[in-house]
Amino acid sequence: NKVSKSILVTGGAGFIGSHLVRHFVKKYPDYKIYNLDSLTYAGNLENLKDIEELSNYEFIKADITDETMIAELFHKYQFDKVIHLAAESHVDRSISNPLAFVKTNIIGTLNLLNAFKSIWKDNFEGKLFYHVSTDEVYGSLGETGLFKETTSYSPNSPYSASKAGSDHFVRAYGETYGIPYVVSNCSNNYGPFQFPEKLIPLMINNIIEQKELPVYGDGKYTRDWLYVEDHVEAIDLIFHKARKGETYNIGGLNEWKNIEVISLLCEILDDKLDREKGSSEKLIYFIKDRPGHDRRYAIDSTKIAKELGWKPSINFREGLIKTIEWYLKNPEWIQNVVKGSYIEYYKKQYS
Ligand code: NAD
């Protein structure tokens, strides 16, 4: 088996990317892992403090929308394999600024594809372009049913439209230019190091601080939650074993309504912080719904289970407890990331 020594991970300073980089750097000392990230508000090198000195890890500060820079970096480092996670990732922000999502998620992906294609040309032996994507590209489900790899795309938000566009380009580059690629579409992740604009860390932070808990619409939006390390395990398996030119859905078979998730977080935290039972739930209040809000997502992950033997290993309660314990132990991480522009964003979003 030919082992690739030069692996580019994009977006490795973000939430999922930092877990993935740590996992690869520690598990595969023979691989050289290059973490390319422009360090937007969502990127934070603090997430990787524990591995930054390791010799098989290197950080490259660069923006994937910069075509020339990306081409130069591919030329210089000759990356054999790419795991592409860099993206604008927050649906609410995509509603107020869709263009930023087109630039990073679509044009940025194209720049990577072009650079990859131009260094390896027609000899793609042992090479791979792995694109990490979301189940949101499939749109919304009714009360029943699951997203399969064959479900047609029907994105409803500028975020999911931009991710859908990037998925299509990766596939098209495979068909048109013969690039060896694989795509995975995963459900909602949670865990340590997630930026507190996302539902679970937002609520954990507000419950700890006893701030109000804003819930969109009727709170009955349903998501399939997966612990971030289970996603990383799936990416590892796909990276090493998947058939080229395939798509894999990844999900936890773990559907929860938003309001149920929030109640569970209140219950666990009230218990941990010795607060009166039910006291945090009183902080819940409902706000105007988000436009284009998908009602339900749920994933059928039979294909990755059957072909690659993957299944989630951490149940929801256990995963939430691990996550909560991490946020309780790392208050300075939260303090640092919510400084400055996030405070303005929060006020605008939830006032
Ligand atoms: P994140 O927002 O935490 O991290 C994104 C990272 O990309 C950040 O470090 C940011 O600095 C970097 N980045 C953004 N724009 C860039 C640019 N122009 N050039 C270079 N770097 C740039 O996101 P995440 O939640 O870790 O998601 C990572 C990937 O996984 C995304 O592609 C996302 O669509 C996908 N995904 C996320 C989830 C989820 O629940 N979080 C689920 C399925 C798929």
Dump pLDDT digits (tens) for 259-275.
999 999 999 999 999 99
Q: What is the pLDDT of residues 6-40, one digit of tens each?
A: 999 999 999 999 999 999 999 999 999 999 999 99
pLDDT tier for residue 290 given thresholds of 50, 70 and 90: confident
Q: What is the pLDDT of residues 149-183, one digit of tens each?
A: 999 999 999 999 999 999 999 999 999 999 999 99
Question: Of the given ranges (195-199, 224-228, 338-342), which has the lowest mean pLDDT?
Answer: 338-342
Is 159 a known active-site residue?
yes
Assess whether pLDDT exceeds 90 at residue 339: no
Assess whether pLDDT exceeds 50 at residue 3: no
**Separation between Cα atoms, residue 125 and residue 84, nearest integer Å:** 19
Ligand 1 pocket test, pick from 20, 23, 40, 159 with the greatest ligand atom count within 8 Å of Cβ, gives: 40
Assess whether pLDDT exceeds 50 at residue 315: yes
Question: Do the beta carbons of residue 128 and residue 173 sit within 8 Å?
Answer: no
Question: What ranges in the chain are assigned the alpha helix state H?
Answer: 15-27, 67-77, 91-96, 98-101, 109-120, 158-177, 199-209, 228-241, 258-272, 302-308, 316-329, 331-337, 341-350
Task: Name the active-site residue from 63, 80, 135, 233.
Answer: 135
Structural domains of the chain, ranges and CATH numbers in brackets: 6-190+226-250 (3.40.50.720)
Helices 109-120 + 67-77 axis angle, to 10: 40
Q: What is the pLDDT of residues 66-117, one digit of tens each?
A: 999 999 999 999 999 999 999 999 999 999 999 999 999 999 999 999 999 9
Assess whether pLDDT exceeds 80 at residue 220: yes
- Residue 271 Cα to ligand 1 midpoint, Å, equals 33
- Residue 345 confidence (pLDDT): 78
Assess whether pLDDT exceeds 50 at residue 1: no
Is 136 a known active-site residue?
yes
Q: How large a percentage of the chain has pLDDT more than 70?
A: 98
Assess whether pLDDT exceeds 80 at residue 231: yes
Q: How large a percentage of the chain has pLDDT more than 90?
A: 89
- Residue 162 confidence (pLDDT): 98
Alpha carbon of residue 300 to chain centroid? 18
ipTM surpasses 0.95: yes
- Residue 4 confidence (pLDDT): 56
Ligand 1 pocket test, pick from 70, 85, 93 with the greatest ligand atom count within 8 Å of Cβ, gives: 85
Nearest alpha-carbon partner for 116 in 56, 175, 177, 164: 177
Residue 34: which H helix or E strand, with range? strand 32-37
- Residue 11 Cα to ligand 1 midpoint, Å, equals 6
Assess whether pLDDT exceeds 50 at residue 256: yes
Q: Indicate yes or no: pTM above 0.90.
A: yes
Cα dihedral 269, 274, 278, 284, rounded to 10, equals -50
Which residue is associated with the tokens 């059957």? 306
Is 233 a known active-site residue?
no
Which residue is associated with the tokens 């690869």? 24
**Separation between Cα atoms, residue 4 and residue 32, nearest integer Å:** 9
